[in-house]
Structure 1
Amino acid sequence: MDFQDYFELTQLYADYASAVSSGQWELWPEFFTEECSYRLQPRENYDRGFPLATLSFESKGMLKDRVYGIRETLFHDPYYQRHVVGAPVVRKAEGERFECEANYAVFRTKLSELSSVFNVGRYIDVVVRTPEGLKFSSRQVIYDSEMIPNSIIYPI
């Protein structure tokens, strides 16, 4: 992996964090390939090889459906999220395909309340080069705590 590839990869991670922190949910699916996988899973299940996930989407179309649900059908107390993402560690690079990991922390701020730590864990990703630039073909969001507040509405 050369410097340009790593720069583009870190830009992908930074742009993703900015998009999902901004509340512009329609941007979220555009970080993925058409045939993609996005799974949100507790660490215990991941470490033990259990398939049960909190959220699991298997295509960009499913991600777009989730955005529609967030915007049009889900009712919840509004809150803001702020994502802090560490630099990606490249575990394997083969041509135009990169296997990466990065730690993350998500802070949540409800209206008229103090900010709190909402979710902490790591991303385990497969990133591929497309004509539009680098995209996630697989994103596993492995959160550390077995306890999550109420439900997860927005993308992590």
Structure 2
Amino acid sequence: MMGIDYKVRDAVEALNLKYIRALDRRDMQGWLSTFDNPGTYVCIPKENEDRGLPIAYMLDDSYARLQDRVTQVTKIQPDAVEHYQPRHFTQVVDIRPLGGVNYRVETHFTVNYTPDNTGRTDVLATGTYVDEVVVNGEARFRSRRAVLDTNVVPRYVAYPI
């Protein structure tokens, strides 16, 4: 991150905060607003990522699919899943210019969850976000890959990581 303009760093940090605030509040429209159009989101285990296997927990490979994810969470699954309260903790560890207003960003994450019916908090996932971020005034994700450290999580993933 040496040599990265502080305005870029601050914009990336603000984007990450907006992203995790939206997910922790289950605000899917807020989540969607962190993505550029076109934009993509993938949540994949590290083992599959390392082996080049496309099998992912979530694969939203277009902006229309991101919009479908919002519909899935807000309109389809409210009565079909056991809800939990997510809590995201992140740390940006690398920002590299890709040219122009595009940057490659790596951010470590931990997501805790508390099921609505138990009140017991556990770790849902840890890993690294590997992103392409567009910083043109406000930052947005062109792509976000949530690469999970393990290929097994303690429960199903109802919301984006």
TM-score computed with the length of structure 2 as normaliser: 0.89
Is contact 2:133-2:139 (8 Å) kept? Answer: yes
After the TM superposition, list the runs of 4 or more consecutive aligned residues in structure 1 that deviate by more than 3 angstroms: none
| CA–CA distance in structure 2, aligned partners of residues 62 and 110 of structure 1 | 27
Aligned to 2:8: 5
What pairs with 1:4-153 in structure 2 (closer than 5 Å)?
4-74=7-77, 75-111=80-116, 112-130=118-136, 133-153=138-158
Is contact 1:91-1:101 (8 Å) kept? Answer: no
Is contact 1:10-1:88 (8 Å) kept? Answer: no
Corresponding residue SS for 2:153: coil
| CA–CA distance in structure 2, aligned partners of residues 50 and 92 of structure 1 | 27
Q: What RMSD over aligned residues (CA atoms) do the two structures have, in Å?
A: 1.5
User: What is the CA distance between 1:114 and its match in structure 2?
Assistant: 1.1
The share of aligned pairs that are identical, in percent, is 27
Alignment deviations for residues 16-74 of structure 1 (CA, whole Å, 9 cap, x no partner): 11111111111111111111121111000111222222211122221121111111212
Matching residue's letter, 1:68: T
User: What is the CA distance between 1:129 and its match in structure 2?
Assistant: 2.6
| CA–CA distance in structure 2, aligned partners of residues 128 and 56 of structure 1 | 20
Is contact 1:35-1:58 (8 Å) kept? Answer: no
Matching residue's letter, 1:125: D
Is contact 1:13-1:88 (8 Å) kept? Answer: no
Is contact 2:22-2:31 (8 Å) kept? Answer: yes
User: What is the CA distance between 1:127 and its match in structure 2?
Assistant: 0.3
User: What is the CA distance between 1:92 and its match in structure 2?
Assistant: 3.3
Is contact 2:43-2:160 (8 Å) kept? Answer: no
Is contact 2:104-2:131 (8 Å) kept? Answer: yes
Corresponding residue SS for 1:86: strand
Alignment deviations for residues 69-89 of structure 1 (CA, whole Å, 9 cap, x no partner): 111212111210000011241
| CA–CA distance in structure 1, aligned partners of residues 5 and 98 of structure 2 | 10
Aligned with residue 154 of structure 1, among 150, 154, 159:
159
C-alpha spacing 1:91/1:129, structure 2 compared with 1 (3 Å): closer
